[in-house]
Chain A
Amino acid sequence: MSKNSITKDLQKDMYYHMALARALDDRMWILNRQGRAPVVYSSNGHEAAQVGSAFALNRGEDWIVPYYRDLALVLAYGMTPRQVMLHLLGKAEDPNSGGRQMPAHWGMKERHILTTGSVVATQDIHAAGLALASKVLKDGRVSVAYFGEGSTSQGEFHEALNFAAVHKLPVIFFNENNGYAISVPARKQMAVMDIAARAEGYGMPGVIVDGNDPLKVYEVTREARERALAGEGPTLIEAKTYRFVPHSSDDDDRAYRSREEVAEWKKRDPLITFEKHVLDNKILSQAEHQEMQKKIKDVVNDATDYAEQAALPDPKTLGDFVYHQ
C-alpha cells in the first residue's frame, strides 16, 4: 500500500482526518437521534476517497467544490470540527452560511471551498469556471468538483466535462461512486459499468481508483493535478466506494439494500484497513494511536459543546446579503 512519495507524517495526518471525520459523523447521528440536530448527511465510508484526494491538492489554495457527502473532505481542507458543528446546528457563527443552509452545504471562502447548493451537478460547472479563471489569470490553482455517480445523469455534469476538455482547463472531476443515488442503484442510473468510461466521450482521461485506499486515491489525484498544471486539461477520477449508513438521517437503507451487501463492504472499511496499515507499518505507534483517539474525542466534545452554546442567527438578519452591501 505504501508509496515512497507519501511521507509517514502525511499518512499519519491522513489517518487523523479520516478518524476525526468518522467520529464527528457518529456524533452528528447521535445528536440527530436525540432530537438535537434536524438532519445529517454522512461521509461515513467515503473517508479514504475524500481525505486521499484532499491531501494531493494544495490545500486552501486549490479550489474544491464539494457536495453534501464531503464532511471528511472539508475537514481535510481545513474546516474545523467547531465550524462543522456550528453549521449542523444552524448557528450564527457557521462560516458556511451563517445558519442559512441546511447541514452539509459546505462553503468557506478563506479555505477556497466554494459554496454549494442542493441541486446536484450544478457544482461541476462551477469548478470548470473557477479553472477558466485560473487559466486566464495563470494563478497556478487547480479546481476539483466532487459529486456522486447518480448526479452524472444530469446534463450539467456532461456540459461541465465537455467545456473543460475543449478549453483544457486545470480541473479535476472527482466522482465518489458509492453505487447508489439514495435508493437507485447504479445499474438503473446508467448503462455503462464505470463512470470513468464517460471521460472518453469528452476527450479526457478517465481513471478508476479504489476509493477505500487513501494512498491510491492520493496518487491518482496528484497525477491529475500535475496534468492540469501542465496545461494538459481535465481528468475524470472515479473512486469506487460505499456509504455505510443511509443516504441521510431521514432515509432507511434497509428498504433497498441487503444487510449482507453492507456487511461485505464493511470488511473493507477504509478506516479499519488504513488503521491497520499505519499500525502494522509503524507509521503510528500504539501509544500515539491512543493519544490520537483521546484527542479526537476531546475535539468532538469541544465542538459539540461550543456549537450548542453558540447563538442562533438574529431574525433581523433575514434580509441581509441579498445584494452586495
Chain B
Amino acid sequence: MAVMTYLEAIRETLRQELRRDDRIIVYGEDVGVRGGVFRVTEGLQAEFGEQRVIDSPLAEAAIIGTAIGAAVNGLRPVPEIQFSDFIFPAINQIVQEAARIRYRSNGTFGVPMVIRAPFGGGVHGALYHSQSVEAFFAHVPGLKVVIPSTPYDAKGLLAAAIQDEDPVLYFEHKAAYRSLKGDVPDERYLIPIGKADLKRPGKHVSIITYGLMVSYALKAAETLDKEGISVEILDLRSIRPLDVEAILDTAKKTGKVLMVHEDNLTGGIGGEVSALIAEHALFYLDAPIVRLAGPDVPAMPYSPPLEHAFMVTPEKITEAARKLAKF
C-alpha cells in the first residue's frame, strides 16, 4: 500500500500491466522518450523498450487504427490520445471500426484495446485542451467508457479495462492528475466496469456524478452536513454501461436527485440518468431531478473569469444541493 497521486496510480498500473503481460503495448504522441506531455508514461520506455512503448506519428486515426489491427492480431494495445480534444480525427476508427467489429463479424473478431485520454477543464486549457467528450462515446453500443475519480479506482479500472475483451475509453481528468491523492494497494486488483460506487451515504439529497466532480461533490457534502443536510453521493465510475440499479437505489432512497457533470448540459450523461429515473423510479421522487452541468457553449473559454463561469465548482454544487434539499 502506498499513497499516490491519481497520475502515479495510472503510471504504476501501466508499469505493472506491462510487466505482467508481454502483449501489452503503450503508444501515442510523445509517450516514449518524453514520457507523455503529462508524464503519465514517464520511465516506461526506459524499462520496456521502444517496441512496447512507442512514439507514434502525430496522427490520431493512425494511432487508433493501428491499435485495432494490433489487437486483432494478438496484442493488447493501450494507445494514448494526448488530449481528449484531439480524439476526433480518430472518431471514424473508434465508432465505425472498433465499436462495430465484433458485431459486424458476428462475434468472430474482437478489439481488446484501451484508449487513454486526459480530459476536462479548469486548467487554463481553453477550447481545445479542456473538453469533456465522454457523451459522444457513451452513445455508442460496442464501446465502454470509464472515468475514475480516485487513485484507487484509477488503478482498478485501468487493469479491468486492459483485461476487457472490448474497446474501452478511459478518461483521466487533467485537474485530478496531481491534486488527488490516496491509498493504492501494491497488488493487482480489478474494479468491474459498470459498477458505480456509493461514496457517501446520506438521507436528503443524492448527488450522482463521476470523475473530478466526485471530489467536488464530497466537499459540498461536508459543507452541507454542517447545515444539517445529509447528502448521498454516487460515483458512476462507468458511464457506459451505467449501473442502473445503483442509480435507481439512491433515487428511491432520498427522493431528490442532483446530477452533476462538467460536460455540457444538452445530451450529457445527466439526461440519460434522469430518463432512467423518470422511467423506473418516478413515484419515489419528492422533487424534480436537477442537472448541474457545463453550459451549452461550444467549449471552455480561456480567460479566467470565463473559464470559472463555465466550470462546475464545489460552491455551485453546494448551492444546487441546498436548494434541492429545501424543495
Q: Which residues of A contact B (CB under 8 A)?
A: 63, 65, 94-101, 105, 107-109, 114-115, 117, 119, 122, 124-137, 139, 141, 143, 155-156, 159-160, 162-163, 166-167, 320-325
**Is B70 engaged at the interface, CB distance under 8 Å to the other chain?**
yes
Taking a contact as CB atoms closer than 8 A, the residue among B72, B107, B144 that contacts A325 in the complex is: B107
Residues in chain B within 8 A of chain A (CB atoms): 23, 25, 51-52, 54, 56-57, 59, 61-62, 64-75, 77, 89, 92-93, 96-97, 100-110, 141-142, 144, 164-166
Task: Write out the residue numbers on chain B whose beta carbons fall within 8 Å of the beta carbon of A320.
Answer: 106-107
Given contacts A321-B102, A321-B107, A324-B165, contact A162 B59 (CB under 8 A): yes
Check if B105 sits within 8 Å of A97, measured CB to CB.
yes
Given contacts A97-B105, A323-B102, contact A130 B141 (CB under 8 A): no
Other-chain residue from B62, B71, B74, B100 in contact with A128 (beta carbon distance below 8 A): B62
The reply to whether B106 and A321 contact each other, CB–CB distance below 8 Å, is yes
A126 lies within 8 A of B65 (CB): yes
Question: In the complex, what distance in Å separates the CA atom of A130 from the CA atom of B75?
Answer: 9
CB distance from A104 to the nearest CB of B (A): 13
Please name all residues of chain A whose beta carbon is closer than 8 Å to the beta carbon of B93 when the two chains form the complex: 122, 125, 156
Q: How far, in Å, is A137 (CB) from chain B's closest CB?
A: 6
> How far, in angstroms, from A166 to B77 measured CA to CA in the complex?
18
Q: Which residues of B contact A167 (CB under 8 A)?
A: 54
Q: Which 10 A-B pairs have the closest CB atoms?
A: A129-B69, A125-B65, A98-B106, A129-B66, A324-B165, A133-B73, A159-B62, A321-B107, A126-B69, A130-B69
Complex A-B: 18 CB contacts under 8 Å: A99-B106, A100-B103, A100-B106, A117-B97, A122-B96, A122-B97, A125-B62, A125-B68, A126-B68, A126-B69, A127-B69, A130-B70, A132-B69, A135-B51, A136-B70, A137-B73, A160-B65, A163-B59
Q: How far is the CB of A227 from chain B (nearest CB, A)?
A: 19
Shortest CB distance A321–B (Å): 4
CA distance A206 to B69 in the complex (A): 23
Q: Are B142 and A322 in contact (CB under 8 A)?
A: yes
Q: Using known A-B contacts A63-B73, A136-B52, A156-B61, determine if residue A324 contacts B103 with beta carbons closer than 8 Å.
A: no
Question: Contact at B65–A122, with CB atoms within 8 Å?
Answer: yes
Say which residue of B52, B74, B109 sits within 8 Å of A107 (CB atoms): B109
Task: Write out the residue numbers on chain A whose beta carbons fall within 8 Å of the beta carbon of B109.
Answer: 107, 109, 114-115
Which A residues are in CB contact (< 8 Å) with B103? Answer: 100, 321-322
